[in-house]
Structure 1
Amino acid sequence: MDYQQSWQGASARTQSRVDFIRSVYLWLMGGFAVAALGALSAPFVAAALIPVAGRFLGWVLFGVQFGTLMFASSVSRRKPLNRLAYGLFTFVSGVIAGIIALVIAQGAGFVPVFSALGLTGVVFLTLTVTAFVSKRDFSFLRNFVMVGIAVMFFGGLAAAIFHLQTFSLIISGVAVIACSAKLLWDTSAMLRTDDLGDPAGFALALFVSLYNIFISLMNLLGGRRR
């Protein structure tokens, strides 16, 4: 009887984790779909906001994106508000990615954009498979990720404020490495966590890492061609 109860308990826990992981990736795929809608609407959003924001459009969009990210993070467990917040953040992120893609395409064509998209997919699949197959705990990357993200954030601000193109490319390289490490860390944490009640929070973390990798790769590939 004890053996049967133990087996049933283990089976139930395994099924709960499978359902949780499936839910995380459903949230993530939904975020990609909303971001794609945002990217398609980017020309119209930009046309509507440029007369109001002018040359500060980029900063306005960055502020809105950061605000929606904080909102989505804070309500990730609160249904149905988490869906609204997650959708807002991914839509705004898609708009920004679409505008950046259009700017890069004007100077270097769409090849860097599609190349960055393909490479982001390769990074995602490679690191996800690595985490699933190895089953290692990648939390040892924590300090490296924190330092890398700090360099990416403050370095990116400095490059934008002072228009440092070469420095921006260096920061983009740092961002690709740091966010790839965070993607591996977050996927490992998703597989090992005992808290199965926040799939939206894990999906948000994965989306942010993939978004930053994509934007950074576009900047690297497009910057080299401009």
Structure 2
Amino acid sequence: MEFQRSWQGASEGTRSRVDFVRSVYLWLMGGFAVAALGAVSAPFVARALVPVVGQYLGWVLFGAQFGTLMFASSVRRRAPLNKLAYGLFTFTSGVIAGIVALVIASGAGFTPVFLAFGLTGVVFMTLTITAFVTKKDFSFLRNFVIVGIAVMFFGSLAAMIFHLQTFSLVISGVAVIACSAKLLWDTSAMLRTNDFGDPAGFALSLFVSLYNIFISLMNLLGGRRR
């Protein structure tokens, strides 16, 4: 009887974990869909905002993205508010990605954009499969990720403020490496956690990493030809 109860408990735990992982990826796919809508809307959003904010469009969008990210992080366990916050963040991120893609395409064509999109998909699939197959705990990447993201964040701000194109490319390389490590760490944590009540939080973390990888790859592939 004890063996049967133990087996049933393990089976229920496995089902709960599978349902949790499925929920995380459903949230992630939903975020991609909303971001795609934002990317399609990017020219119209930019056209509406430029007469109001002028040359500060980039800073306004950056502020909106950062604000919606903080909002989404703070309410990630509070349904249905978490859906609204997550949608606002992913839509804003999609608008920014769409504008960046158009800027790069205007100087280098759409090839770097498509390549960056495809490479982001390859990185996502490779690291996800690695985490699923190895079942390793990648939390040892924590310090590397923290330092890398700090360099990425402050380096990006410096590149924007002082218009440092070459430095921006270096920071993009750092971002690809740091966010790839974070993607591996987050996927590993998702597979090992016993807290199944925060699928939105895990999806948000995965989305942020993939977004930064995509933007950074676009900058690396198309930046020198703009």
Equivalent residue letter for 1:175 = A
* Cα drift, residue 223 of structure 1: 1.1
Which residue of structure 2 aligns with residue 219 of structure 1?
A: 219
Which residue of structure 1 aligns with residue 80 of structure 2?
A: 80
Which residue of structure 1 aligns with residue 40 of structure 2?
A: 40
Equivalent residue letter for 1:185 = W
Which residue of structure 2 aligns with residue 161 of structure 1?
A: 161
Q: Aligned with 1:41: secondary structure?
A: helix
Equivalent residue letter for 1:194 = N
Equivalent residue letter for 1:146 = I
**TM-score scaled by length of structure 2:** 0.99
Equivalent residue letter for 1:184 = L
* Cα drift, residue 113 of structure 1: 0.4
Which residue of structure 1 aligns with residue 25 of structure 2?
A: 25
In 1, Cα distance between equivalents of 2:224 and 2:173: 12
Which residue of structure 1 aligns with residue 64 of structure 2?
A: 64
Which residue of structure 2 aligns with residue 186 of structure 1?
A: 186
Which residue of structure 2 aligns with residue 203 of structure 1?
A: 203
In 2, Cα distance between equivalents of 1:167 and 1:89: 27
The question of 1:105 aligning with 2:108 is answered no
In 2, Cα distance between equivalents of 1:165 and 1:224: 8
In 1, Cα distance between equivalents of 2:26 and 2:104: 30
* Cα drift, residue 185 of structure 1: 0.2
* Cα drift, residue 186 of structure 1: 0.2
Equivalent residue letter for 1:126 = T
In 1, Cα distance between equivalents of 2:208 and 2:58: 18
Which residue of structure 1 aligns with residue 95 of structure 2?
A: 95
Which residue of structure 2 aligns with residue 137 of structure 1?
A: 137
- C-alpha distance after superposition, 1:184-203 (max 9, x if no partner): 00000000001110000000
Percent same amino acid at aligned positions?
85
In 1, Cα distance between equivalents of 2:132 and 2:10: 19
The question of 1:118 aligning with 2:153 is answered no
* Cα drift, residue 225 of structure 1: 2.6
Equivalent residue letter for 1:41 = S
Which residue of structure 2 aligns with residue 14 of structure 1?
A: 14
Equivalent residue letter for 1:24 = V
Task: Let me know the Cα RMSD of the aligned residues.
Answer: 0.4
In 2, Cα distance between equivalents of 1:134 and 1:3: 28
**TM-score scaled by length of structure 1:** 0.99
Which residue of structure 2 aligns with residue 2 of structure 1?
A: 2
